[in-house]
Chain A
Amino acid sequence: MIEATELTKRYGGRTAVDRLSFTVRPGRVTGFLGPNGAGKSTTMRLILGLDSPSAGRVTVGGKAYADLPVPLRAVGSLLDAKGVHGGRSAYHHLAGLAASNGIPRRRVAEVLDLVGLPEETARRRTKGFSLGMGQRLGIAAALIGDPEVLILDEPVNGLDTEGIRWIRGLMKSLAAEGRTVFLSSHLMSEMELTADHIVVIGQGRLIADTAMRDFIETNSRAHTLVRSPEPERLRTLLEAAGAHVRLDARGGWRVDGPDAPSIGDLARDHGVAVHELTPAHSSLEEVYTTLSRSSVEYRAEDRPQEATTTRQKETAR
C-alpha cells in the first residue's frame, strides 16, 4: 500500500508535484497516467525517498521509505533512468543489490531466470545490452527482494510485442498474489489492458483516482457507428430525432445521442436499410487526451508562466 498525502515538490520556482493525495492498494495493478512532464517520475522518486518533498508526505506500508528495515524486501523499483553502470555485468549489479539487503546470492540466478536473461548474457557488461534486455534487467533488480510493493516507471519502454505481453502477464500475476503494483506509462492502450485502477495527474495535480472501467464509462461518451446505403436520408432522420451526427473516419456516421436499438428502430420505421450498427465507447486514449487537454487549459488561465514553460518543453520535444 502506497499513501501520498498532500505531496508537494517544488524545484526552485517550478511546482512539479502539487498537493497530490492518492492511495495505491494491494491486489490490483494501478496505472499512473499523465503526459510527459506531469510529475510521474518525480512522484515515484518521492515515494522512494530519493527526492525529499517540499510539503506533505508519502508512505509505503505505513512507513517512510527511509524507515523500512529491509527496503528491497518491501519495495522493488524500476526508474525511468536505468541506474545500471554500463561497465558492470548484470550479474554483479544484481549480486550487489542482493548483498545490500542481506538477500542470499542464489536469488540472483532465480530472478535472471524469471525475467528470461540467460546466465551468459548476465555475465556480460550491460553497456552492450539492447533496450529490451536492459528493461528485463531492471525488472530482475526490482524483483530481487521478492517485494510486497512494485513501483515501475515506464516498464514496457523499448520492449517488443512479446516483451510487452510478458510484462502485462507478470504485473497481473504479481497483483493476483496480493502485491501492490504501481506502474506509470504514457501508452494509454497498454494501460487499458493492464491496469485495474488508475491515478491520473496533469501538471502535478490529481485529475482522477478511480477504477479503470468507471473512468472510461464516466468520461467517455458512448456513440454508435451506422452505415447505410442511403446515408443522407438516414442523417436527416437522425437529426430530426435530435441526434448529433458526424462523419466517421472509417466511413459511415458516428451518432451521439440515441443508442443502437433506437437507431435501428428508427431506420426500420422509415424503411431505411442499415448495413452496420456498432455501439462504441471512446478509448482511454481519447478520454485521457480530452481530460489532460482541459487540465492544461485550466492551468493556462490559472498560472500563465508555468503553462508556457510546459508548452515550450513539449515543443522542444
Chain B
Amino acid sequence: MTTTTLPLPATHTRRTGFREALAHEWIKFRSVRSTVWTTAATAVLPVVGAVFIAASGSLQPDDTVLGGSLTLTVVAQMLAAVVGALVASGEYSSGTIRTTFAAGPRRGTVLAAKATLVAGVMYILALASCTAAYLVGDAMLPEGRYAQGEPLPALFGIAASFAVAAVLGLAVGFLVRHSAGAVTTVIGLLLLPSLFGPLFGDAERWVAGLSPTAALEKLTQTSDAAAEAVGSLGPWPSLLLVAACTTALTLGALVLLRRRDA
C-alpha cells in the first residue's frame, strides 16, 4: 500500500511546554509587518528624539542631559505597549487564536510565552536604544550648561519600564480581544492619568503616579517629573508599583483567558 502521507519519525515526543510556545510566538512575532514595524519604531524613536532636542536647543535650563535626551521615550513606551496589545489582540482579529490554542491548549503557557517575548524584546531594544539616545544627546548638547543626570543604573530601569508597558499592553489585548479597542485602551491607560491628574487637585500625584509613564519620567530624571505632578515616590519604588499593578492585571487576564471560549 502506498502512503499518501510522509510519516514523521517517532522522535520529538517530549511533552510540549514553555520552550515550544516561545518558539511559536517568536516566529509569529517576526513574520507579521504590524508588530515588526511598531517594534522598529519603538527602538528608533528615542534616538530621533535625542537628535531633535539637541539640534533644536529646546531643552529647559533646569533639565538634565539624560532627561532631555530621553524626551521621546514617553512616546516610545506607548509604542511598546501597543506592540504588547497587538501580540494578543491581533490573534483575535485575524482568527489565529484558535490555531494557537489548538497547537498549545495550555493557555497559561501561551500567555507566559507571549509575556516573556514582548518583555524580553522590549527590554533589550529599549536598553540599546535609550543608551544610544543618551550618548547622542550627551555628544550634541553644549558641555556644562545642563546638569548631567545619572544614567546608571537608571537606564536599566528605563528599559524595564518598557517591558512593563509591553506586558500591560498584552494583558489589555487579552482582556479586550480586539486590536483597535486594545490599542486605544492601553494608550488611554498610559496617557489619561497624567491628563486628568490635575482635575484631582491634591490627589493628582497619586492618580498620575500610577501610570508607567510616571515611573519612566522619574527614571529619566526629567524636570517634568516633579513630585507635585507625579507623586513623591522614588523612581525605583514607582517602577515596582507599576510592575505590581501590571502583574495583577495580567493575572486577571489569565483567569478570564482560561474561562472564556476562544
Contact = CB atoms under 8 A, between A and B. Distances in A.
Interface stretch (A173-181, A219-227, A268-276): A173-181
B56 interface: no
A183 interface: no
Interface of B: 1-8, 12-16, 20-21, 23-24, 26-28, 31-34, 90, 94-106, 261-262
Nearest to A91: B31
A51 B31 CA distance: 28
A104 B12 contact: yes
A223 to B, nearest CB: 39
Interface of A: 45, 48-52, 65-66, 68-73, 75, 77, 79, 81-89, 92-93, 95-97, 99-104, 107, 110, 114, 141, 143, 145-146, 169-170, 173-174, 176-177
A64 to B, nearest CB: 9
Contacts of A110: 6
Nearest to B262: A50
A87 B98 CA distance: 17
A71 B104 contact: yes
B256 to A, nearest CB: 13
27 contacts: A48-B101, A49-B101, A52-B261, A70-B12, A70-B15, A72-B103, A79-B102, A83-B96, A83-B102, A85-B28, A87-B33, A87-B94, A88-B28, A92-B27, A97-B24, A99-B24, A100-B23, A100-B103, A100-B104, A101-B20, A101-B103, A102-B16, A104-B12, A110-B6, A173-B5, A176-B1, A177-B5
B105 A65 contact: yes
B32 A85 contact: yes
Contacts of A49: 101-102, 105
Given A69-B15, A99-B20, A100-B24, A146 B8 contact: yes
A102 B23 CA distance: 9
Contacts of B262: 45, 50-51
Given A87-B34, A88-B28, A174-B4, A102 B102 contact: no
Contacts of A89: 31
Contacts of A92: 27-28, 31
Contacts of A48: 98, 101-102, 105
B143 to A, nearest CB: 47
Nearest to B261: A51
A153 to B, nearest CB: 11
B33 A70 contact: no
Contacts of A81: 95, 98
A50 B31 CA distance: 24
A121 B70 CA distance: 44
Given A48-B105, A92-B28, 4 more contacts: A48-B102, A51-B261, A82-B95, A83-B97
